[in-house]
Amino acid sequence: MNLAEGFRSREVTAPLVAEIARSLERPIRIMEVCGTHTMSIFRHGIRSLLPEGITLLSGPGCPVCVTPASQIDAMLAAADREEVTIATFGDLVRVPGSDRSLAGARARGARVEIVYSPMDALALAQREPERLVLFPAIGFETTAPAIAATILAAERTGIANFAVIEANKTMPQALAALMDDPLLKVDGLLCPGHVSAIIGSRAYGPLAERHRLACAVAGFEPADILAGLLSLIRRINAGEPGVENCYTRAVAEEGNVRARHLIEQVFEPVASEWRGLGAIAASGLRLKKQYRRFDGLARLGIAVRPTQEPKGCRCGEILKGRLLPPDCPLYGTACTPMRPVGPCMVSNEGTCAAYYRYIGVTDIPVSLKRRDECV
């Protein structure tokens, strides 16, 4: 950002910050659901701009972080097969399973390739017909349409050595399960911009109505986030639950109809295990019967088996908003970005990674240390 851009940014954000301070009538707790929001909030120092009465909690919006160790172990079992190539997004490579990561498997000779899209994985399968290329389908509604389109392309072109590892998850069901937690006190949700671009702002209506909750869909620039927070504060003050779309340039009420059709064409809802949240009904995506031949684990006869999460890691409670990263006894000691124990310290969207990168270990402000009401 050049100097002129910096001044323009302050001209936009300063009035929003002032209005937030004027509007705040009581202490409130807001959860930003999206990992990109978490990183943006830290990167732009938004917490330092807000009045003391606002507590921001990070939710289960990092797809790598909510993937349980049992699914990572199944991917590792596939990677160990001599004929298999794992083609994956880069942020998954260093996520630990119960005893190692895909990076560790690659160091032992497994074929693990980093790709930027599922179509890249399909192209790799086309170039190497003697190998089975598996793409771990990790992500929320944002990545599901591209994965569905890739499966349709594989079917159309007759590429038989491409498959996916089912791991997609859907956000509304997880948020509903989270809001049912009696130990979590949240006044409002800053809803994810990327996911909302697919599912639409209307998708949060039942959640807002059931839990008498204020929701705001927001983008990722500082002004977007501050506008979303101001919308939430005003709704909370007025006692008016509901959903406000503050990201209309990217999100429509009905979402992206074509993308949603792709998801519905290829996948069907299924119960899914979330790290920290447990099994949630209809929160995952399973290939429909006519596309089951693209299920990589079934093709290899590999089952997802329950496994222990890393000892001492509190990622699950951090993802639920019950704890802040500094509350974890491993944070900054046994668990660092160079030696991660849990996924929240690995992913670019992980809450622990954000704290470590922008706050560190020794200079954590009192406002970011453990709060009794988080537990």
Mean pLDDT value of segment 280-287: 97
In the CATH hierarchy, which fold is given to the domain comprising 27-356? Answer: Rossmann fold (3.40.50)
Which amino acid makes up residue 65? C
**C-alpha span between 172 and 217 (Å, rounded):** 13
Query: What per-residue confidence (pLDDT) applies to 7?
Result: 36
pLDDT-derived band at 370 (thresholds 50, 70, 90) equals very low
- In the predicted model, is pLDDT for residue 4 greater than 60? no
Tokens of 357: 């990168």
Query: What per-residue confidence (pLDDT) applies to 183?
Result: 87
Query: What per-residue confidence (pLDDT) applies to 347?
Result: 86
- pLDDT tens per residue across span 6-37: 434 666 788 999 999 999 999 999 999 999 99
- In the predicted model, is pLDDT for residue 359 greater than 60? yes
CB 157 within 8 A of CB 210: no
For the chain, domain boundaries: 27-356
Is residue 371 classed exposed, middle or buried when 0-12, 13-18 and 19+ CB atoms within 10 A define those classes? middle
95 Cβ contact partners less than 8 Å away, ≥ 6 residues apart: 64, 67, 72, 101, 102, 340, 343, 346, 347
* DSSP letters for 18-87: HHHHHH--S-EEEEE--HHHHHHHHHTTHHHHS-TTEEEEE-S--HHHHS-HHHHHHHHHHHTSTTEEEE
- In the predicted model, is pLDDT for residue 110 greater than 60? yes
Query: What per-residue confidence (pLDDT) applies to 363?
Result: 55
- In the predicted model, is pLDDT for residue 226 greater than 70? yes
Mean pLDDT value of segment 293-303: 97
pLDDT-derived band at 159 (thresholds 50, 70, 90) equals very high
Tokens of 283: 């929160």
- pLDDT tens per residue across span 167-201: 999 999 999 999 999 889 999 999 999 999 999 99
- pLDDT tens per residue across span 299-337: 999 999 988 888 899 999 999 988 889 999 999 999 999
The C-alpha angle 140, 43, 349, rounded to 5 degrees, equals 25
- In the predicted model, is pLDDT for residue 56 greater than 70? yes
**Parallel, antiparallel, or unpaired: how do β-strands 267-274 and 278-287 relate?**
antiparallel
40 Cβ contact partners less than 8 Å away, ≥ 6 residues apart: 46, 220, 221, 222, 225
Helices and strands of the chain, counted as H and E runs? 16, 11
Stretch among 202-206, 210-214, 315-319, 347-351 having the lowest mean pLDDT: 347-351
CA distances from 43 to 145, 155, 269, 309, 372 (A): 29, 42, 35, 29, 26
Query: What per-residue confidence (pLDDT) applies to 375?
Result: 34
Query: What per-residue confidence (pLDDT) applies to 367?
Result: 47
To the nearest whole percent, how much of the chain has pLDDT over 90? 84
3-state secondary structure of 185: coil
**C-alpha span between 134 and 84 (Å, rounded):** 7
Query: What per-residue confidence (pLDDT) applies to 99?
Result: 87
- In the predicted model, is pLDDT for residue 114 greater than 50? yes
